[in-house]
Amino acid sequence: MSNEKKGLLTSGQKRKIRRNITGYAFILPNLIGYSIFVFVPVIFSFVLSVMSWDGSKKPMEFVGLANFAEIFGDKVFRGTLVHTISYAVMTVVPTLILALLLAVLLNNKIKGVAIFRTAFYFPYIASIVAVGAVWNMLFQPDFGPVNQILKFIGISDPPRWVVDKDWAMVAVSIVSVWKYMGYYMIVYLAALQGISSSLYEAASIDGANGWQKLWSITVPMLTPTTFFVMIMLTIQCFKVFDLVYVMTGGGPGNATKTLVNYIYEKAFTSWEFGPASAGAIVLFAIVLVITLIQFSGEKKWFKDL
Amino acid sequence: MKKRQFVAILMVGAMACSVLTACGDSSSQNQDSQSTSGSSDAQKADQPSTTGEDKAADSGGTAQEGTQELSVTTWDNESSPQFQAIVDAYEEKNPNVKIKIIDTSADEYNNSLGISLSAAQPDPDVIWVKDMGSMLQMADKEQLLPIDDFIARDSLDLSIYKGAAEQLMYNDKSYALPYRNDWYVLYYNKDLFDAAGVEYPSNDMTWAEYYELAEKMTSGEGSSKVYGSHNHTWQALVTNWAVQDGDHTVVEKDYSFMKPWYEECLALQDGGYIQDYSTLKTANIHYSSVFKNQQCAMMPMGTWFIATMMQSQEEGETDFNWGIATIPHPENTETGYTVGALTPIAISAYTDQPDLAWDFVKFASSEEAAEILAAQGVFTGIPSETALQTIASAERFPEGESNVEALNYTHYSFDRPLDPQIEEIRTVLNEVHEMILIHAYDVDEGIAELTERVAEIKGW
C-alpha cells in the first residue's frame, strides 16, 4: 500500500515504459541514421521547394509556388517528364516479359541451371559506371560490335544509338533491361516455387500443352508477383539517374535528360535549390501515386488469395 | 531484470555509436578516393578533414607543434605541375606552414567545391578557381573573401598584371588575383608535316588557310588514318573563333554570327579532316591522347597544353617533334587576335586563417611564382618578356624562333564574358553544340534554339 503511494506511476505502468524504452533503444541505431540521412533531408526539401536559395549562407526567401510555376514553364523540365515516361515504358515491359521467360526456363531441371541463373543475375551486381562505359563502346556507331552485327545481318543504316537523339533513350533502356532482368528473374523464380505442382498435373491429365500451361496457370498464378515487379520497376525507372549520367550525360542535346538529371543539374550546376526541390517534390508525388496504386492492388490480391 | 535492461541499453548505445562512426569513416574514405583518384603522391591529400571535430583536433595538434596548416583545392593535380610547383615552393619558404591539397578531378571540381563551400567549413582556405564563371557564382553567394582590404594594406601593385586583376573585379570588388593566363594557339606535329612534305603552319594564317591545310594533311584510312586537325568536343572550339574578333561574346541576343563557324566545323567533320564528334563523345577520347598518339597533324588548344606536352616528352611518353603556331585568325582581323581565359586564385569566406591564406595567394600570384611556373611551361597572370624567355628556353620547349613568336598576341578576348549566369548559359551552348555536330539540328535550328533559350535565362 505504502509502496504504491510513493511513486506517481503504478508498477504496471513503469514496466510498460521500461519495455518501450528497450524497444526504442533497439531501433535507435537505424532510426538515427534514417533521421539524419533521409528524414531530415526529405522534410528540408519540402521546405526548400517554396523557397529561393542558392546554397550559401545567405538567408532563404519565401517565394510560395513560384518554383513550381518556374519548372512547369520550363520546356526542358516538361521534356524530362516525357523522357522519363518513355524510358519507363521502354524498360518496364521488356524487363517483365524477359524476366518471366527466363524464370520459367530456368525453373526446369536442366544441366548447369545454377550457372545460367548466376550468369543472368550477374549484370545486376556489376558496377553501373563500368556497365555504362562498356555498353557505350558496344554501341559505338561506326565500329562498335552492335552496329557491326546489325550491318552483317543486312541493316545497312543502323541507328547511331547514344549520339542519335531518337535512339539514345532506346540504348539506355536496352542496357537497363539487360542489367535488371536477372534480379526480377530471381523474384519470379521464388514465386514459381510457390505454385502447387498439382495444378500442372491436373492440366497434364486434361491434355494441356506447355504454352497452355504457361498461359493459363503460370501467368495467372504469378499475377501478384507481376504486379509487384511492375510497381518496383516503374518506381525505379522514375528515379533513374546514374545510368543516364554515365552513358549520355542527358544528351545528345537534352534528349535523354530525365527528371533526376534535371534536379541534379538545377541544384549543382545552377545552384538553384528552390526549383530543384520543386522538381524533387514532383518526383515524390509521382512515386507516391504509384505506391498508392500498389497498396490498393496488394489488398485486392491478398483478399483473392 | 534491471541489470539486464541496463546492459541491453548499453549495447544498443554502443551499436548506435559504431553505426555513426562507420558512416563517418566511409564518408571520409569517399573523400579520400575522390581527392587522390589516380594520384601517386596520395600522402599529401590523405586526410581532408570532413567534420568539425576532425578540424578542431587538427588545429589543436598543429598549434602545439608551432606549425600552421593551410588547405588548398586543386584539380587533376597529378597531370600538370601547375599547382604542386607553387605549393612546394611556398612550403620551402615557410617551413612552419604545411599545405594540405584537396584534389578533385577537373570534371567534378566545381560541383565538389560548391558543395563543400555550402557547408561553410573552415576548409578549404585557398581556392584555385577553375573558371571565371564559377568565380562569379561563388562571389554572388558570398563564399569568397573580398581582398580589397588586403591589397590596400600591403599596397600591392596590381599593374604587374597588365589589367588582368581589374578584369577579375566584380561589382567593384576584388575577389581574386590572376594565377594563370591561358590562350589558344595551334599545336602541330612536325614529323607528320615533314613526312608529307608540307610546310609547317605559319604564324599568320586565316581560318580558310587552316581548313585547306587540314584537308591537305589528312591521309590514310581506318585505324592508321591521320587527321589534318583535331577539334575536341568542347563548344569553345567553335564558339571561340566566333568571338575572336572581339565584336561578340557567347552571351548575345542574336547568335546568327556563329552560323559560318558551325558550318565550317561541320564541313571539316563531314569531309573527314577532323574526327567525328560522335566518335569522340562515345569513346570519351581525351584530346591529349589524340595528339600524343600522332593521330592528328594539328590541334587548336590552350597554352596549358604546352606544360602537358613538355611533361610527356620529359617522361618519355612521346618523342616526336612538335611545334606551336599562332592561332589562325578570321578574315576581318590581323594575326595576333586570340581567345583565352584567366585562372584566378581566391580565399574562402569561411577560412579560419585569412592572413595566412592571403600570404599564400599573394605568393602564388607573385613575380617569383611566375618564374617558377614559367620554368614548367606555365603562363601566369603576369605577362613578361623574361617569363616568355624562360618558357622558350626550357629544355623540352620546341626549337625554333617561330614557336616563341607564336606565343605573342596583340588582342585578347575572353572565351566567356563575366556574366553571373554564364554557367547556366554554357549548359545551353553545350547542348546545342552537340545537337548541331551530330546533325540532329541543322545550323539554323541550333542558332534559333540558342537565341531563344539564352533570352529566357537572361529574361530578355
Copy the grid coordinates of residue B395.
629544355
Q: Say what the pLDDT of residue B13 is.
A: 52
Q: Say what the pLDDT of residue B3 is.
A: 55
Chain A to chain B, count of Cβ pairs less than 8 Å apart? 104
> Does position B42 have pLDDT exceeding 60, yes or no?
no
- Give B171: exposed, middle or buried? Use CB within 10 Å, 0-12, 13-18, 19+: exposed
Contact residues on chain A for B432, CB-CB shorter than 8 A = 253
Q: A55 and B279 in contact by Cβ < 8 A? A: no
How far apart (Å, rounded) are the C-alpha atoms in residues B332 and B325? 19
pLDDT band at residue B281 under the 50/70/90 scheme: confident
> Does position B301 have pLDDT exceeding 50, yes or no?
yes
User: What are the residue ranges spanned by the domains of chain A?
Assistant: 2-48, 66-304
> Does position B63 have pLDDT exceeding 80, yes or no?
no
Q: A32 and B20 in contact by Cβ < 8 A? A: yes
Could you say which DSSP state residue B202 is in?
Answer: P
Chain B interface disruption, residue of A38, A56, A246, A256, most B CBs within 10 A: A56
**Cα angle vertex A68, ends A295, A91, to 5°?**
45
Give the CATH superfamily of A66-304. MetI-like (1.10.3720.10)
Q: Are B365 and B163 in contact (CB under 8 A)?
A: no
- Give B301: exposed, middle or buried? Use CB within 10 Å, 0-12, 13-18, 19+: buried
The average confidence (pLDDT) of chain B is: 84
Rounded (10°) CA dihedral B67, B73, B79, B81? -50
pLDDT band at residue A141 under the 50/70/90 scheme: confident
One DSSP character per residue, chain A reads: -HHHHHSSS-HHHHHHHHHHHHHHHHHHHHHHHHIIIIIHHHHHHHHHTTEE--SSSSPPEE-TTHHHHHHHT-HHHHHHHHHHHHHHHHHHHHHHHHHHHHHHHTTS--TTHHHHHHHHHHHHHS-HHHHHHHHHHHT-TTT-HHHHHHHHTT-SS---GGGSTTTHHHHHHHHHHHHHHHHHHHHHHHHHHTS-HHHHHHHHHTT--HHHHIIIIIHHHTHHHHHHHHHHHHHHHHT--HHHHHHTTT-STTTT--HHHHHHHHHHTS--HHHHHHHHHHHHHHHHHHHHHHHHHHHHHHHH-
Instruction: Out of A40-54, B55-69, B399-413, pick the least confident.
Output: B55-69
User: For the residues B216-232, what does the mean pLDDT come to?
Assistant: 91
> Does position B424 have pLDDT exceeding 60, yes or no?
yes
Q: Say what the pLDDT of residue B7 is.
A: 55
Q: Say what the pLDDT of residue B187 is.
A: 96
Q: A28 and B16 in contact by Cβ < 8 A? A: yes
> CB neighbours of B396 closer than 8 A, spacing ≥ 6?
B309, B310, B313, B314, B377
Report the DSSP pairing between strands B68-75 and B97-104. parallel
pLDDT greater at residue B44 or residue B13: B13
How far apart (Å, rounded) are the C-alpha atoms in residues B329 and B411? 11
Instruction: Out of A101-105, A142-146, A274-278, B383-387, pick the least confident.
Output: B383-387
> Does position B260 have pLDDT exceeding 50, yes or no?
yes
Of B198, B215, B202, give the one whose Cα is nearest residue B323.
B202
pLDDT band at residue B239 under the 50/70/90 scheme: very high
pLDDT greater at residue B240 or residue A108: B240
The percent of residues above 70 in pLDDT, for chain B, comes to: 86
Q: Say what the pLDDT of residue A90 is.
A: 95
Chain A interface disruption, residue of B117, B131, B278, most A CBs within 10 A: B278
Phi and psi for B215 in degrees, rounded to 5? Answer: -65, -45
User: For the residues B302-315, what does the mean pLDDT come to?
Assistant: 89
> Does position B106 have pLDDT exceeding 80, yes or no?
yes
User: For the residues B101-105, what does the mean pLDDT come to?
Assistant: 92
Q: Say what the pLDDT of residue B14 is.
A: 52
> CB neighbours of A219 closer than 8 A, spacing ≥ 6?
A100, A226
Q: A25 and B13 in contact by Cβ < 8 A? A: yes
Residue B455 forms contact with A (CB below 8 Å): no
Q: A56 and B434 in contact by Cβ < 8 A? A: no
How far apart (Å, rounded) are the C-alpha atoms in residues B137 and B141? 6
Residue A127 forms contact with B (CB below 8 Å): no
* Amino acid type, A66: A
* Amino acid type, B415: D
Query: How many CB atoms are closer than 10 A to CB B209?
Result: 14
Q: B114 and A271 in contact by Cβ < 8 A? A: yes
> Does position A54 have pLDDT exceeding 90, yes or no?
no
Q: Are A103 and A189 in contact (CB under 8 A)?
A: yes
How far apart (Å, rounded) are the C-alpha atoms in residues B455 and B440? 22
Q: Say what the pLDDT of residue A296 is.
A: 86
* pLDDT tens-digit series, residues B68-85: 899 999 998 887 778 999
- Provide the shortest C-alpha distance from residue A21 to chain B (in Å): 9
| Most distant pair of Cα atoms in chain A: their distance | 97
Q: A270 and B283 in contact by Cβ < 8 A? A: no
Q: Which of residues 214-253 of A touch B (CB under 8 A)?
A: 251-253
Q: Say what the pLDDT of residue A234 is.
A: 93
* pLDDT tens-digit series, residues A175-192: 999 999 999 999 999 999
> Does position B29 have pLDDT exceeding 50, yes or no?
no
Q: Say what the pLDDT of residue B6 is.
A: 55
> Does position A266 have pLDDT exceeding 60, yes or no?
yes
The percent of residues above 70 in pLDDT, for chain A, comes to: 96
* pLDDT tens-digit series, residues B261-270: 999 999 999 9
How far apart (Å, rounded) are the C-alpha atoms in residues A256 and A173? 10
The average confidence (pLDDT) of chain A is: 89
CA B319 to chain centre: 26
* pLDDT tens-digit series, residues A118-135: 999 999 999 999 999 899
> Does position B389 have pLDDT exceeding 90, yes or no?
no
Q: Say what the pLDDT of residue A45 is.
A: 92
pLDDT band at residue B4 under the 50/70/90 scheme: low
Q: Say what the pLDDT of residue A155 is.
A: 86
Q: Say what the pLDDT of residue B22 is.
A: 41
For residue B34, the surrounding DSSP H or E stretch is helix B2-35
Q: Say what the pLDDT of residue B36 is.
A: 37
Of B114, B424, B438, nearest to A55 by CB-CB distance is B114
Helix axes B354-364, B367-375, angle to 10 degrees: 50
Of A59, A245, A229, give the one whose Cα is nearest residue B107.
A245
pLDDT band at residue B192 under the 50/70/90 scheme: very high
pLDDT band at residue B46 under the 50/70/90 scheme: very low
Chain A interface disruption, residue of B121, B138, B282, most A CBs within 10 A: B282
Q: Say what the pLDDT of residue B175 is.
A: 94
Note if the pTM is more than 0.90: no
Q: Say what the pLDDT of residue A165 is.
A: 86
Contact residues on chain B for A139, CB-CB shorter than 8 A = 282
Of A26, A29, A163, nearest to B19 by CB-CB distance is A29
Copy the grid coordinates of residue B71.
588547405
Q: B8 and A163 in contact by Cβ < 8 A? A: no
Euclidean distance between the first and the last CA atom of chain B, given in angstroms as a whole number: 75
- Provide the shortest C-alpha distance from residue B202 to chain A (in Å): 34
Copy the grid coordinates of residue B370.
611566375
Q: Say what the pLDDT of residue A304 is.
A: 57
Copy the grid coordinates of residue B362.
599573394
Contact residues on chain A for B434, CB-CB shorter than 8 A = 251-253
Copy the grid coordinates of residue A294.
500498389
The percent of residues above 90 in pLDDT, for chain A, comes to: 52
Euclidean distance between the first and the last CA atom of chain A, given in angstroms as a whole number: 55
- Whether residue B344 has a cis bond before it, omega within 30° of 0: no
The percent of residues above 90 in pLDDT, for chain B, comes to: 50
- Give B159: exposed, middle or buried? Use CB within 10 Å, 0-12, 13-18, 19+: exposed
Of B12, B141, B434, nearest to A58 by CB-CB distance is B141
How far apart (Å, rounded) are the C-alpha atoms in residues B133 and B74? 17
Residue B16 forms contact with A (CB below 8 Å): yes
* pLDDT tens-digit series, residues A56-111: 878 888 998 999 999 999 888 999 999 999 999 999 999 999 999 999 999 888 88
> Does position B276 have pLDDT exceeding 80, yes or no?
yes
- Provide the shortest C-alpha distance from residue B437 to chain A (in Å): 10
- Provide the shortest C-alpha distance from residue B283 to chain A (in Å): 6
Residue range B184-340+416-458 forms a domain whose CATH class is alpha beta
* Amino acid type, B186: L
Q: B142 and A58 in contact by Cβ < 8 A? A: yes
pLDDT greater at residue A209 or residue B40: A209
Residue B104 forms contact with A (CB below 8 Å): no
Beta bridge pairs of residue A64: none
pLDDT band at residue B19 under the 50/70/90 scheme: very low
Report the DSSP pairing between strands B176-189 and B298-302. antiparallel
- Give B35: exposed, middle or buried? Use CB within 10 Å, 0-12, 13-18, 19+: buried
Chain B interface disruption, residue of A269, A272, A273, most B CBs within 10 A: A269
> Does position B203 have pLDDT exceeding 70, yes or no?
yes
Residue A18 forms contact with B (CB below 8 Å): yes
Q: Are B329 and B335 in contact (CB under 8 A)?
A: yes
User: For the residues A47-54, what does the mean pLDDT come to?
Assistant: 91
Of A133, A144, A252, nearest to B435 by CB-CB distance is A252
Q: Say what the pLDDT of residue B379 is.
A: 87
